[in-house]
């Protein structure tokens, strides 16, 4: 051991202790294990707690050793010696004492060593040795040390959460004692050892009123992970979770948790539907999640289904595109479970949604490329786009009614005892802009094939400024050809579709009436769209002619 270290430690010479910082690291780096061993002996003496000189000497020596380890990057080499010194500190009282609540000397040494060790939280071997000992400081009653340790453990858990899984009980005891910083560790431990954390999760909900926003989010993140795997673990937490719905910071993740629970136990959510509805109005970005939760609860009976459907229809026309897709899916599921809910109100809501969507798209459908502008103020406009138009999107009406038609068709077949009736679904495709409404059944493949050929043919011959249609448009005589009637042939139902009529064959049933109304909606939208596009192009062309 270096001569100066020997003198300072053996004689407890405080006057020379400061000179240790003038000794180069290279001269003492090989003596660190021996120095730490001598320090461990000194702090184990009975009079150490009352000897201020010894305490000062030890503090200076510990600081110099840790500085050398940090500068020479030898933490892994001396980790075992540091951990041995921590074990010695664990044998003594670490709770603050006196009116000033000052940390006892052993707590100060432990705090310095732990801080130094966790600067290397990304080193596996070092963490394997130090984590089991570091966790033992949590129940020692030193609040400041425990809080700092919570931050260090959060860093270590990023890569080595599995090393903490055997210590979940100690971590939970510290959390219940008020060390809420450790809540951030639980999600990481759960991902590697869910069985260790799940039994303790429900009791955390009682701590939420005492947590700050970040700590609440840590608990909710853990609950979301649990809800995705074993949502029934959180059954008892539902009432208190609903209290978080009115907080902007926690509303979204809370609804995600409730959605997972409702998918497994919808009856648990039923009594909280009013809270969910009110929370969605306070936080509009949760409308889609609220609709999904209410729809899950609504599948328990018709009354709850009607409640959920009313909520969906209320927000459908004004929701954003992603939310509209989710709400339409939930409306479809509800109407599939309870076909009697499919009424004129649903059709009216779908019409309103379509009208608003077309109104938003009307200004962007025609792609006008302003490629050049001359000095005389003449703008050259290119009406032709090099990119292909996006594929047609099925109408919302068809999406809502598809499953209802399947249910009605199966019911009719069952009632008429038809031997060849098919229970396969009836996919519906409708493009209000480029093609007529198409009802496709397996038995009508040839018919739908001809329709798609006609559609493609009409697309491949765009109108020219010189053709006769321009004169017709300018004179105000706009004529849009009616699509070829769609024929659906099965053993149960024959539907002949014109613009606003439908006839039923053997099968008959209420599903055809619903389909007829929806076909009219789709046809009206298609004709309106074609008219808008044609007139807009002619107006632009006329302006160009005038400019020339």
Kindly state the tokens that stand for 258.
Answer: 């409730």
- Least Cα distance to 325 among 394, 273, 265 occurs for 394
For the chain, the C-alpha Rg in angstroms (whole number) is 37
What distance in Å separates the CA atoms of residue 131 and residue 267, rounded to the nearest whole number? 44
Whether 425 is covered by a domain: the verdict is yes
| pLDDT surpassing 60 at residue 379 | no
Whether 160 is covered by a domain: the verdict is no
| pLDDT surpassing 60 at residue 406 | no
| pLDDT surpassing 80 at residue 36 | yes
pLDDT tens digits along 320-337: 888 988 998 998 899 889
Strand partners of residue 97: 102
Strand, coil or helix: 380: strand
Confidence of residue 521 (pLDDT cuts 50, 70, 90): low
Strand, coil or helix: 514: helix
For the purposes of burial, counting CB atoms within 10 Å of the CB of 147, is it exposed (0-12), middle (13-18) or buried (19 or more)?
A: middle
| Residues 353, 320 contacting (CB under 8 angstroms) | no
**Half-sphere exposure for 171 (CA within 13 Å, toward CB):** 32
Query: What's residue 364's pLDDT?
Result: 53
Whether 94 is covered by a domain: the verdict is no
pLDDT tens digits along 114-136: 999 999 999 999 999 999 999 99
| pLDDT surpassing 80 at residue 350 | no
pTM equals 0.68
Whether the CA torsion 317, 319, 323, 327 is positive or negative: it is: negative
Strand, coil or helix: 299: coil
Strand partners of residue 408: none
What is the DSSP code string of 9-50?
A: HHHT-HHHHGGGGGS-HHHHGGGHHHHHHHHHHHHTSGGGGG
Contacts with 98 (C-beta within 8 Å, 6 or more apart), sequence order: none
What is the DSSP code string of 210-270?
A: GS-HHHHHHHHHHHHHHHHH-GGGGGGGHHHHHGGGG-TTTHHHHHHHHHHHHHH-THHHH
Confidence of residue 317 (pLDDT cuts 50, 70, 90): confident
Domain residue limits at 521 = 381-547
Query: What's residue 68's pLDDT?
Result: 97
What distance in Å separates the CA atoms of residue 504 and residue 530, rounded to the nearest whole number? 30
Whether 502 is covered by a domain: the verdict is yes
pLDDT tens digits along 256-294: 999 999 999 999 999 999 999 999 999 999 999 999 999
| Number of domains observed in the structure of the chain | 1
Whether 515 is covered by a domain: the verdict is yes
The rounded mean pLDDT for the chain is 77
Whether 422 is covered by a domain: the verdict is yes
Strand, coil or helix: 510: helix
Query: What's residue 466's pLDDT?
Result: 41
pLDDT tens digits along 110-119: 999 999 999 9
């Amino acid at each position: 051991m270096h001569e100066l270290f020997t003198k300072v430690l053996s004689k407890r010479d405080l006057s020379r202790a400061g000179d240790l910082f003038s000794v180069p690291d290279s001269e003492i780096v090989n003596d660190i294990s021996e120095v730490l061993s001598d320090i461990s002996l000194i702090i184990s003496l009975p009079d150490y707690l009352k000897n201020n000189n010894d305490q000062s000497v030890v503090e200076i020596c510990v600081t110099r050793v840790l500085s050398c380890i940090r500068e020479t990057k030898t933490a892994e080499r001396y980790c075992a010696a540091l951990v041995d010194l921590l074990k010695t500190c664990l044998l003594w009282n670490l709770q603050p004492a006196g009116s000033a609540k000052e940390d006892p000397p052993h707590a100060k040494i432990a705090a310095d060593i732990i801080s130094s060790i966790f600067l290397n939280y990304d080193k596996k071997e070092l963490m394997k040795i130090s984590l089991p000992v570091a966790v033992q400081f949590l129940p020692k009653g030193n609040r400041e040390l425990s809080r700092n340790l919570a931050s260090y453990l959060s860093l270590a858990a990023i890569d080595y959460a599995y090393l903490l899984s055997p210590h979940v009980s100690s971590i939970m005891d510290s959390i219940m004692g008020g060390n809420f910083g450790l809540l951030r560790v639980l999600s990481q431990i759960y991902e590697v050892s869910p069985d260790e954390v799940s039994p303790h999760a429900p009791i955390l909900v009682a701590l939420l009123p005492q947590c700050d926003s970040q700590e609440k989010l840590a608990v909710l993140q853990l609950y979301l992970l649990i809800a995705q795997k074993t949502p029934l673990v959180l059954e008892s937490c539902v009432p208190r979770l609903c209290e978080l719905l009115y907080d902007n910071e926690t509303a979204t993740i809370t609804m995600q948790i409730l959605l997972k629970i409702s998918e497994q136990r919808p009856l648990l959510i039923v009594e909280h539907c009013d809270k969910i509805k009110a929370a969605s109005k306070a936080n509009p970005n949760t409308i889609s999640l609220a609709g999904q939760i209410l729809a899950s609860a609504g599948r328990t009976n018709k009354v709850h289904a009607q409640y959920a459907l009313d909520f969906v229809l209320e927000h459908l026309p004004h929701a954003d595109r992603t939310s509209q897709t989710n709400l339409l899916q939930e409306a479809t599921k509800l109407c599939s479970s309870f076909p009697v809910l499919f009424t004129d109100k649903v059709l009216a809501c779908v019409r309103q949604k379509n009208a608003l969507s077309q109104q938003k798209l009307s200004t962007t459908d025609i792609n006008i490329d302003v490629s050049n502008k001359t000095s005389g103020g003449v703008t050259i406009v290119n009406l032709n786009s090099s990119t292909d138009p996006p594929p047609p999107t099925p109408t919302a009406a068809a999406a809502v009614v598809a499953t209802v038609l399947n249910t009605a068709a199966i019911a009719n077949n069952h009632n008429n005892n038809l031997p060849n009736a098919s229970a396969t679904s009836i996919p519906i495709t409708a493009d209000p802009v480029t093609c007529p409404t198409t009802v496709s059944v397996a038995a009508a493949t040839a018919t739908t094939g001809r329709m798609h050929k006609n559609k493609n043919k009409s697309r491949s011959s765009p109108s020219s400024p010189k053709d006769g249609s321009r004169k017709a448009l300018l004179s105000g005589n706009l004529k849009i050809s009616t699509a070829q009637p769609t024929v659906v042939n099965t053993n149960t139902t024959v539907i002949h579709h014109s613009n606003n009529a439908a006839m039923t064959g053997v099968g008959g049933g209420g599903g055809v009436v619903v389909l007829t109304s929806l076909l009219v909606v789709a046809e009206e939208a298609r004709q309106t769209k074609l008219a808008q596009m044609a007139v807009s192009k002619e107006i632009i062309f006329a302006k160009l002619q005038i400019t020339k």
